[in-house]
Amino acid sequence: MALNTALSGINAAQSDLNVIANNIANANTTGFKGSRAEFADIYAVTGLNLNSTAVGSGVRLQDVAQQFSQGDIQTTNNSLDLAISGNGFFAVNNGSGVTYTRAGDFQKDSNGYVTTPDGSRLQIYPTNGIGGFDTSTLKDLNLITAQSNATATSLVTMTSNLPASDAVPSTTFSTTDSTSYNAAAPVTVYDSQGGSHQATIYYVKTGTNTWDANLYVDGQNAGTQSMTFDTSGNLATPSNGQLAFNSVSLGNGSSPMTLSLNVTNTTQFGTAYSAGTITQNGFEAGTLSNIDIDSKGVVTAYYSNNQSTQIGQVAIANFANVQGLRQMGNTTWAASTDSGPAVMGTASSGEFGSLQSGALESSNTADTTSQLVNMIQAQRDYQANAQVLSTDNTLASALFNAVSR
């Protein structure tokens, strides 16, 4: 009886040591969650009202309970490294279905997908086209498809001052004769393929408070539009402040360029000509140069053409009973009957934690001191049960020797 009881104690202590050893071995594993061996006594129930003198039959391993306490968050400055502060798991797809992890050491593979080290793809909510995200759909985060296409310039906005004291030129307007116009404002514009072109607006005073704006693109005439100013020097016509010019064929395979000029803030004061600010709404094609993921998991891509766009929002999952999750290895878990189905959401909302980009969550067993203390206790338990075996063996030997005499 005592031999079997002590043996169950040794087996329990060995199981405890195995769990502690695994915790210590993963002290540096990103997103690892330690476990705790939990035990229950073995008690052989006797007949009715006869159990007052019954002795237990030892101990058994009842459960290896996962401990989902928060690990320390360490800064890495890698934009694809993500850490969750609070509740939640990253959703990743390993090709066979969605699993869940706290390890945010993501990287980009050769196809542009953001993956875990074992190749599972990070899941996001795609954009819905109206400035938000479609939280009913999960999608692989891909950074190659998130390129910035070229956009042709259609509108040039200018803020300038035309001198009221300027004289009307005495010669017929010509782009090659600087005396035939009062001022010129160059601006770089882009065609439908992202190619850059030189556009120039030549201002010619035609009379009191009246001016012509002549537009040329790469030397081609796009037409002339007139402007008038009131006695206070403010723009009077066109009333909407928009000058619409003719289309220009650029001869490079791109679509003809049609430009409008917004001169709403153009003035005619007595001061000298001032070009002010000039902006335009076109840009060349751009390659991905950087990404940013904010505390809500919104993924923003930045491109070489100084444009940016939101390409998705990182999906976060949580469970009614996280300890019921089924361990899959590689610091990933799968939903089970005990855990309940995944409750999907977004970071920094409801009961979900916030995201931190450029950081990783350390193993929650990284502080090995407590693990070593537990190991010492398990070792003592093992030694104590081994001593019981030795003592019982000694008593049995003494009994056998006495009987044999």
Q: Give average pLDDT by consecutive 10-residue segment, the chain, 405 residues.
A: 76 88 92 90 66 72 90 92 96 94 94 94 94 94 80 94 95 95 96 94 96 96 96 95 95 94 95 90 88 94 88 96 92 95 94 94 90 88 79 67 65
Q: 298-303 and 288-293: which strand pairing?
A: antiparallel
| DSSP 3-state of 385 | helix
pLDDT of residue 359: 95
| DSSP 3-state of 391 | helix
With tokens 């003035």, the residue in question is 267
Of 165, 272, 171, the closest CA to residue 209 belongs to 165
Angle between helix axes 2-25 and 368-404 (nearest 10 degrees) is: 160
**Structure token digits, residue 147:** 């390129």
**Structure token digits, residue 372:** 């070593």
- Report residue 314 CA to chain centroid gap: 6
**Structure token digits, residue 72:** 């320390």
Which residues, other chains included, contact 245 with Cβ-Cβ below 8 Å and sequence gap of 6+?
215, 222, 223, 225, 258, 259, 260, 261
Question: Where in the chain are all domains bearing CATH 2.60.98.20?
Answer: 155-280
Instruction: With beta carbons less than 8 A apart as the criterion, state whether 359 and 73 touch.
Output: yes
**Structure token digits, residue 40:** 């229950």
C-alpha distances in Å from residue 382, one per residue of 4, 58, 285, 379? 14, 13, 68, 5
Instruction: With beta carbons less than 8 A apart as the criterion, state whether 125 and 229 touch.
Output: no
Question: In whole angstroms, what is the distance from residue 384 CA to residue 45 CA?
Answer: 26
Torsions phi, psi for 164 (to 5 deg): -65, -25
Question: In whole angstroms, what is the distance from residue 225 CA to residue 401 CA?
Answer: 124
Backbone torsion region of residue 102, taken as left when φ is above 0, otherwise alpha when ψ lies between -120 and 50, otherwise beta: alpha
pLDDT of residue 138: 96
Which residues, other chains included, contact 373 with Cβ-Cβ below 8 Å and sequence gap of 6+?
none
Question: In whole angstroms, what is the distance from residue 225 CA to residue 156 CA?
Answer: 14
Topology adopted by domain 155-280: Tick-borne Encephalitis virus Glycoprotein; domain 1 (2.60.98)
Position 400: which residue type? Answer: F
Helix (H) or strand (E) holding 403: helix 368-404
Question: In whole angstroms, what is the distance from residue 233 CA to residue 112 CA?
Answer: 55
